[in-house]
């Protein structure tokens, strides 16, 4: 379960409240769990070209190297200039990600639109 820092620079737990309607949107789809040893949905790795406000609302899976699991989450806000994003996991926890590091490490799989 993602709690606290993953030990990767630029990542931290965020205390910004998220509205209840967003929490409802990030529940795991039927047949999926909060985390898995490999991505559960068809997708592709995040690229630098993807970093834009169009990511807001996208569902994805984020890899945590500490426990070697992929976690389902939704991108809530994107700061294009800072290359950061606030995400919310299906557990309700939030985090701010440094998207440059996530792209470099290949740690985010964007769930393809036809799979959502």
pLDDT digits (tens, 9 = 90+) for 18-33: 444 444 455 677 788 9
Tell me the mean pLDDT in the region 8-22.
45
Which residues, in sequence order, are CB contacts of 95 under 8 Å at separation 6+? 2, 11, 12, 13, 14, 86, 87, 89
Residue 7 placed within a domain = no
What percent of the chain clears pLDDT 70, i.e. is strictly above it? 73
The answer to whether the pTM exceeds 0.85 is no
Residue 67 placed within a domain = yes
Residue 6 placed within a domain = no
Residue 93 placed within a domain = yes
Tell me the mean pLDDT in the region 39-63.
96
pLDDT in tens, 69-95: 999 999 999 999 999 999 999 988 999
Our count of domains for the chain comes to 1
Helix ranges (DSSP H) in the chain: 20-25, 99-105
Full residue range of the structural domain in which residue 67 is found: 12-115
Residue 3 placed within a domain = no
Residue 95 placed within a domain = yes
Per-residue pLDDT, 32:
87
Residue 102 placed within a domain = yes
In whole numbers, what is the pLDDT of the chain averaged over residues? 82
Residue 19 placed within a domain = yes
């Amino acid at each position: 379960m993602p709690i606290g820092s993953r030990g990767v620079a630029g990542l931290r737990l965020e205390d910004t409240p998220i509205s209840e309607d967003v929490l409802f949107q990030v529940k795991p789809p039927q047949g999926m769990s909060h985390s898995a040893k490999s991505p559960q949905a068809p997708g592709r790795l995040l690229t630098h070209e993807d970093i834009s406000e169009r990511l807001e609302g996208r569902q994805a899976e984020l890899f945590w190297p500490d426990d070697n699991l992929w976690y389902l989450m939704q991108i809530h806000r994107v700061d294009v200039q800072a290359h950061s994003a606030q995400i919310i996991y299906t557990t309700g926890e939030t985090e701010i990600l440094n998207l440059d590091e996530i792209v470099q490490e290949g740690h985010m799989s964007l769930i393809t639109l036809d799979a959502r």
